[in-house]
C-alpha cells in the first residue's frame, strides 16, 4: 500500500538497529529516495502512516525508528530487491566516519556528549561491525570494521564494554590475517 518511493525508503532504513538520526538516513539512503528533500518528505509520510516513530529527546538528536516487525519485513524486501549490499555498505561507511569523528572527542571536553551519542548508536555500530565481518565481502569492509573498532577503543573502555571491543578487534584481525594468507 506504499508508493514506490516509500517502499524504497522503508527498505533502506531497515538496515538501522535501534533507530537513526536524520543525518544517518540521508547518508545511508542516498540513491534510495531521490533528493534530500524527497527523502525527508517521504520519511514524514511514513511517520504519518505510523510506520516510522519519531523520538524527541532533549539530550540527543531527534531519532527515528521502525517497529521491529515492520523493520524485519522491510529488511526481507531490501534483500529481495538486490540493493541490500549497497545499502549495508553505505551504513558501514557512515558509522566508520562517525567513529572517526568521535575518536578525538572521547578524551576531551565533549566526551559526555559523544559517549551518549555513541551509546544511542550502539545497535547500529554492532550491525556495521557485523557487516564488516562478512567472510565473502571485500577486504575494504574488514578494514572499515577494524577502523571502527579501534577508533572506539576509549568508548569501549568508558562504557565497561572493553571485552566487546576486544572481541570485535580479535575477530576482524583474524579474518584479515586469514584473507591475506589466502592470497
| pLDDT for the residue 40 | 77
Average pLDDT, the chain: 91
Work out the end-to-end distance of the chain between its first and last CA atoms, rounded to an integer number of angstroms: 48
| pLDDT for the residue 35 | 47
Q: How confident is the model at residue 38 (pLDDT cuts 50, 70, 90)?
A: low
- Say whether pTM exceeds 0.75: yes
102-125, pLDDT tens digit by residue? Answer: 999 999 989 999 999 999 999 999
Segment 123-133 shows an average pLDDT of 97
How many other C-beta atoms lie within 10 A of the C-beta of residue 112? 11
Segment 137-166 shows an average pLDDT of 96
Q: Check: CB of residue 117 under 8 Å from CB of residue 105.
A: no
| Residue in this structure with the C-alpha cell 583474524, named with its chain if needed | 174
| pLDDT for the residue 31 | 64
Q: How confident is the model at residue 44 (pLDDT cuts 50, 70, 90)?
A: confident
Of the two residues 142 and 44, the one the predictor is more confident about is 142
Classify 19 as helix, strand or coil: coil
| pLDDT for the residue 149 | 97
Q: Check: CB of residue 79 under 8 Å from CB of residue 14.
A: no
Amino acid at each position: 500500500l506504499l508508493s514506490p518511493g516509500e517502499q524504497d525508503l522503508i527498505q533502506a532504513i531497515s538496515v538501522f538497529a535501534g533507530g537513526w538520526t536524520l543525518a544517518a538516513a540521508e547518508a545511508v539512503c542516498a540513491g534510495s529516495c531521490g533528493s534530500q528533500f524527497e527523502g525527508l518528505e517521504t520519511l514524514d509520510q511514513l511517520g504519518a502512516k505510523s510506520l516510522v516513530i519519531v523520538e524527541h529527546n532533549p539530550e540527543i538528536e531527534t531519532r527515528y525508528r521502525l517497529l521491529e516487525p515492520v523493520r524485519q519485513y522491510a529488511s526481507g524486501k531490501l534483500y529481495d530487491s538486490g540493493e541490500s549490499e549497497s545499502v549495508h555498505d553505505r551504513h558501514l561507511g557512515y558509522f566508520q566516519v562517525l567513529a572517526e569523528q568521535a575518536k578525538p572527542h572521547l578524551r576531551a571536553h565533549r566526551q559526555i556528549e559523544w559517549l551518549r551519542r555513541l551509546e544511542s548508536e550502539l545497535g547500529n555500530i554492532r550491525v556495521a561491525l557485523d557487516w564488516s565481518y562478512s567472510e565473502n565481502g571485500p577486504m575494504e569492509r574488514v578494514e572499515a570494521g577494524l577502523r571502527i573498532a579501534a577508533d572506539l577503543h576509549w568508548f569501549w573502555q568508558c562504557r565497561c564494554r572493553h571485552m566487546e571491543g576486544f572481541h570485535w578487534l580479535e575477530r576482524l584481525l583474524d579474518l584479515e590475517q586469514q584473507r591475506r594468507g589466502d592470497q
